[in-house]
Amino acid sequence: MAFDLSAQPFARLLGLEVTLAEKHRVVGRLVVREELCTAGRILHGGAYMAFADTLGAIGGALNLAPGTGTTTLESKTNFLGAARPGDVLTGEAAPLHLGRRSSVWQTRITGAQGRLLALVTQTQMTLERPAPV
């Protein structure tokens, strides 16, 4: 099932497309554009992080109890390769931990032929009141 990003203006600005959104797996796609790159014409690290953060937050939100929300508490990124304008990236987020007060998500961002470009681990904190995803 795809996920509606109409309530997420930054994800739309990135050009992120969520192609699968389930409780234990969220998959998205990002086409690298010049506007997302550094002066060296490679994807900015913040774009990698925002891509992964969005996927992990969606996964966290899909696992929430009614009347609660989520926000990113911590995120760590290992940058392993470069992406250039025109490259199509795939991000796949999966939970490492699903708890009552938090969830931990790991997102693998890959490029052509499945080459691993970034590995992101983030903690989503559960909020007692809803927060936008």
Tally of domains in the chain: 1
Is residue 19 in some structural domain?
yes
Residue-wise pLDDT tens digits, 69-100: 999 999 999 999 999 999 999 999 999 999 99
What's the mean per-residue pLDDT of the chain? 95
Q: Give me the domain span that covers residue 102.
A: 9-127
Is residue 133 in some structural domain?
no
Q: Which residues of 77-95 are buried (b: 16+ CB within 10 A; e: fewer)?
A: beeeeebeeebebbbbbbb
Is the CB of residue 102 less than 8 Å from the CB of residue 125?
A: yes
Is residue 132 in some structural domain?
no
Is residue 3 in some structural domain?
no
Which pLDDT score, from 0 to 100, does residue 129 have? 75
Residue-wise pLDDT tens digits, 102-121: 999 999 999 999 999 999 99
Residue-wise pLDDT tens digits, 35-55: 999 999 999 999 999 999 999
CATH number of the domain at 53, please.
Answer: 3.10.129.10
d(CA 22, CA 79): 26
Place of tokens 């797996």: 25
Is residue 4 in some structural domain?
no
Is residue 2 in some structural domain?
no
pLDDT-based confidence at 133, cuts 50/70/90? Answer: low
